[in-house]
Amino acid sequence: MDLNLLPEEEQYRQQVRSWLAANLPKVMAERRAGRISGIEWSKKWQRMLYEAGYVALSWPKQYGGQELDPMRQFIVNDELARARAPGVIGAQAINLLGPTLITFGTEEQKRRYLPKMLRAEEIWCQGYSEPGAGSDLASLRTRAEIDGDHFVVNGQKVWTSRSRYADRMFALVRTDPSAPKHRGISYLLIDMKSPGLTVRPLVQMTGDRGFSEVFFDNVRVPRENLVGQLNDGWRVANDTLYNERNLGGAVEGNKQVFNRLLDLARNTKRAGQPLIKNSIYRQRLADFQITVEAMRLHGLRQLTDQIHKRPRGVESLVNKLVGSELTYEMTRTALELEANFAPLLKGDERAPDRGYWPMNLMVAMGLMIGGGTSQIQKNIIAQRGLKMPKGPD
């Protein structure tokens, strides 16, 4: 396998790099100035990236993409990480729901939802988890009954990220309670402004209200908002989950965290010496760098499979498992480097690196749970990837 870029790909990389150099400092200054809300700023940043041609490059043209080969998106993501650019607010929709709609959606659904998703005109949230249905997602109980040309939805979702400001939700609902639990589930697109839908924010240990409980009381959803076939939602849901696990272990995110950790090791001194010269930390940093590089190569292997349209295996679960645990371990090391200053949070002028690391520790713990816990990834990798027998229940 040749890991070098073709000359035209190298030229494209330079083009992305120049665009970021010209635009990123300006938008970051705007964010720091705080003249617009964080959400409005994030929408604007996504629109800028999209208009520059750097979002969803491989999507079909009629839905807002450019039909470029996936290598171009890989290059863009790599450059975004290198420039330490912030993520886009619609990442979940673009990376999770978008590809699922392209595969399973009706022509009308694709035309209606995909372009607005790309321009951050509609923000989406994911309504999968429920009280009692997290790892065992197929136990979900939110019901949807057919009434004429509508579904009537009753029940509750929980841990729904972004639901506080989302315009729409892609949700799993039970449409046939008499069927075995993996059947009888359907995949619906729900307007968050629907009468009967209530969002109750939950406060996380970071202090953010990043996710909420969502209650459905006779919420009417048009039948044309069904994705895939009635009672075949489990298959559709798993396509979205596969995409989510890629996102959860995104190599670009890990590279950004690693680069930041390197800076911290360079700038933190103990006994007059920067910690990057300490042999124990050097070894640890080398181990992290090797894993980051292994993840990058794993990403390239996935890219090759995608280009050759090979069937998908458990690769995205490996991304999720290794990527989320790596973020957590790198963050713990950063806190060790900060020593007594580690508990100081953002806003405290003595906090090293503006209090990024203690906050990131709390975020990193969530990453090992959201999109499926590490234990669940290990179970699936063992059974489906390594063909190991299922353990006793």
Ligand X SMILES: Cc1cc2nc3c(=O)[nH]c(=O)nc-3n(C[C@H](O)[C@H](O)[C@H](O)COP(=O)(O)OP(=O)(O)OC[C@H]3O[C@@H](n4cnc5c(N)ncnc54)[C@H](O)[C@@H]3O)c2cc1C
What is the binding site for ligand X (CB under 6 A)? 125-129, 134-135, 159-161, 211, 366, 369-373, 375-376, 379
What is the rounded distance in angstroms from the CA atom of residue 269 to the CA atom of residue 284? Answer: 17
Residue 244 annotated as catalytic = yes
Instruction: Select 347 or 391, whichever has its Cβ closest to ligand X.
Output: 391
Tell me which of 130, 244, 252, 338 is the catalytic residue: 244
Supply the minimum distance, in Å, between the C-beta of residue 157 and ligand X: 6
Residue nearest to ligand X as judged by C-beta position: 134
What is the rounded distance in angstroms from the CA atom of residue 378 to the CA atom of residue 105? Answer: 31
Helix (H) or strand (E) holding 364, with range, is helix 356-367
Instruction: Select 37 or 139, whichever has its Cβ closest to ligand X.
Output: 139
The string of DSSP codes covering 318-358 is HHHHHHHHHHHHHHHHHHHHHGGGTTPPTT-TT-GGGGHHH
Supply the minimum distance, in Å, between the C-beta of residue 35 and ligand X: 29
Burial code (b: 16+ CB inside 10 Å, e: under 16) for 107-139 equals: eebbebbbbbbbebebbbbbbbbbeebbeebee
Please provide residue 390's backbone torsions phi and psi, each rounded to the nearest 5 degrees.
-70, 135
Instruction: Select 125 or 265, whichever has its Cβ closest to ligand X.
Output: 125
Instruction: Select 140 or 275, whichever has its Cβ closest to ligand X.
Output: 140
Instruction: Select 184 or 366, whichever has its Cβ closest to ligand X.
Output: 366
Strands (E), 128-195: 143-147, 150-161, 168-174, 185-191
Supply the minimum distance, in Å, between the C-beta of residue 178 and ligand X: 24
The number of beta carbons lying within 10 Å of the beta carbon of residue 206 is: 16
Supply the minimum distance, in Å, between the C-beta of residue 271 and ligand X: 39
Q: Contacts from 13-17 at CB under 8 Å and sequence distance 24+?
A: 13/75, 13/78, 13/79, 16/54, 16/75, 16/76, 16/79, 17/79, 17/82, 17/83
What is the rounded distance in angstroms from the CA atom of residue 71 to the CA atom of residue 302? Answer: 11
Supply the minimum distance, in Å, between the C-beta of residue 379 and ligand X: 5
Q: Which residues are catalytic?
A: 244
